[in-house]
């Protein structure tokens, strides 16, 4: 299917979902609103009506002031948004900044510490949102049964607030499902089904979940994420993708890969904010450079390997701004 057709189809699906969502919201609001006593709710009801009217007229998503398209991540996060960032009043801008700072604090509280030690493993992470919040997902979880530490690493499609909201949903879903002590393929399948059921059609994420055994055993499921690298003295060994991204298709099956890591080997995970970072000329950092840098520092502790990669990226960018959220994780067998 040509890209424009796919875009139009997705847009139609989205418009449809947004209309349903707004109609439901309107019904619920109308049931509780007693206009003289709840002026705020009445105002909200009016803005829902206005969004429905704009959907019907086909100009939903256009800025009410300048008529340019409103940022799509803001629309996905809140279908009632009617003014683009450039046309906000100073008070509206301050309110938005305050909301974003709150969101960033919530997101920071979901992260594991920058470095943790778990029976025989050292785990380090770097987490750098492009803006205030990130659509990347990084987690370390101890399952209730004590059967090996779980790490999770992923990248929600899109950027900004909408991606960050899906990220926190993914975090909550996975944390609840891990308590059920499911085999890894089933954990991925349930995450997929629940994410699909609870977000809009365009929300999906690449996701790696791995179980680290005390004896160096590694079981890993990779839903469409960039292949993680096992870094050792002779170079790097990429671990293949074993399934599709989560939240994209119903009833998909996930495979896992079982391998073993030797003492001194490091499992390196990264988002495309590293491998696809473009320099001023438009050429990308590239997965090869990621592998080469990591291999040169195969003996380094997990945080040191990530710091080296981060420095190499800065040297490569030589002042060009980053264009995506950036996350890295190094899992070293001690």
Minimal distance in Å, beta carbon 299 to Zn ion?
53
* Total interface residues for Zn ion by CB under 5 A: 5
Among 83-91, 123-131, 158-166, 171-179, the segment contacting Zn ion (CB under 5 A) = 83-91
Choose which of 29, 44, 77, 87 interacts with Zn ion (CB under 5 A).
87
By beta-carbon proximity to Zn ion, the closer residue of 86 and 146 is 86
Minimal distance in Å, beta carbon 74 to Zn ion?
12
From residue 237, alpha-carbon distances to 106, 131, 213 in Å are: 36, 32, 19
212 touches 149 (CB < 8 A): yes
By beta-carbon proximity to Zn ion, the closer residue of 65 and 108 is 65
Could you give the 3-state DSSP secondary structure of residue 222? strand
By beta-carbon proximity to Zn ion, the closer residue of 13 and 85 is 85
By beta-carbon proximity to Zn ion, the closer residue of 84 and 194 is 84
Among 34-42, 87-95, 168-176, 257-265, the segment contacting Zn ion (CB under 5 A) = 87-95
d(CA 119, CA 214): 6
DSSP sequence for 5-28: HHHHHHHHHHHHHHHHHHHHHHHH
d(CA 79, CA 165): 14
**For residue 253, what are its two tokens?**
């099956």
Minimal distance in Å, beta carbon 93 to Zn ion?
13
Choose which of 48, 84, 178, 229 interacts with Zn ion (CB under 5 A).
84
Minimal distance in Å, beta carbon 57 to Zn ion?
18
**How far is Cα of residue 178 from the mean position of the Cα atoms in its chain?**
18
d(CA 209, CA 331): 13
221 touches 186 (CB < 8 A): no
Query: Is 96 among the residues that bind Zn ion (CB under 5 A)?
Result: no
Q: Find the binding residues for Zn ion in span 42-81 (CB under 5 A).
A: 63, 65-66
By beta-carbon proximity to Zn ion, the closer residue of 44 and 87 is 87
d(CA 218, CA 305): 20
By beta-carbon proximity to Zn ion, the closer residue of 61 and 291 is 61
Among 28-36, 84-92, 149-157, 306-314, the segment contacting Zn ion (CB under 5 A) = 84-92
Q: Find the binding residues for Zn ion in span 150-209 (CB under 5 A).
A: none
133 touches 164 (CB < 8 A): yes
Structure letter (DSSP) for residue 86: G
Which residues in this chain contact Zn ion in the complex, by CB under 5 A?
63, 65-66, 84, 87
């Amino acid at each position: 299917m040509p890209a424009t057709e796919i875009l139009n189809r997705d847009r139609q699906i989205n418009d449809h979902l947004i209309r349903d969502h707004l109609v439901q919201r309107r019904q619920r609001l109308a049931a509780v609103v007693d206009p003289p006593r709840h002026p705020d709710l009445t105002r909200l009801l009016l803005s829902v009506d206005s969004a429905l009217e704009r959907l019907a007229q086909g100009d939903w998503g256009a800025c009410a002031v300048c008529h340019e398209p409103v940022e799509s991540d803001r629309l996905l996060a809140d279908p009632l948004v009617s003014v683009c960032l450039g046309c906000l009043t100073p008070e509206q801008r301050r309110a938005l900044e305050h909301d974003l700072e709150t969101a960033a604090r919530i997101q920071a509280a979901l992260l594991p510490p920058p470095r943790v030690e778990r029976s025989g493993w050292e785990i380090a992470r770097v987490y750098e949102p492009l803006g205030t919040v990130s659509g990347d997902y990084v987690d370390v979880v101890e399952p209730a049964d004590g059967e090996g530490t779980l790490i999770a690493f992923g990248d929600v499609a899109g950027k900004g607030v909408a991606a960050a909201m899906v990220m926190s949903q993914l975090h909550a879903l996975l944390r609840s499902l891990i308590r059920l002590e499911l085999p890894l393929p089933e954990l991925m399948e349930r995450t997929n089904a629940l994410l699909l059921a609870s977000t809009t059609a365009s929300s999906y994420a690449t996701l790696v979940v791995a179980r680290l055994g005390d004896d160096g055993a590694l079981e890993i499921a990779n839903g469409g994420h960039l292949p993680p690298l096992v870094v050792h003295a002779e170079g790097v060994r990429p671990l293949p993708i074993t399934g599709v991204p989560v939240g994209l298709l119903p009833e998909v099956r996930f495979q896992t890969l079982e391998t073993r890591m030797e003492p001194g080997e490091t499992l390196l995970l990264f988002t495309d904010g590293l491998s696809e970072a473009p320099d001023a000329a438009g050429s990308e950092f590239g997965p090869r450079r990621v592998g080469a840098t990591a291999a040169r520092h195969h003996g380094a502790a997990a945080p040191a390997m990530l710091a080296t990669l981060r420095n190499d990226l800065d040297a490569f960018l030589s002042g060009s701004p980053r264009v995506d959220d950036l996350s890295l994780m190094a899992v070293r067998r001690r």
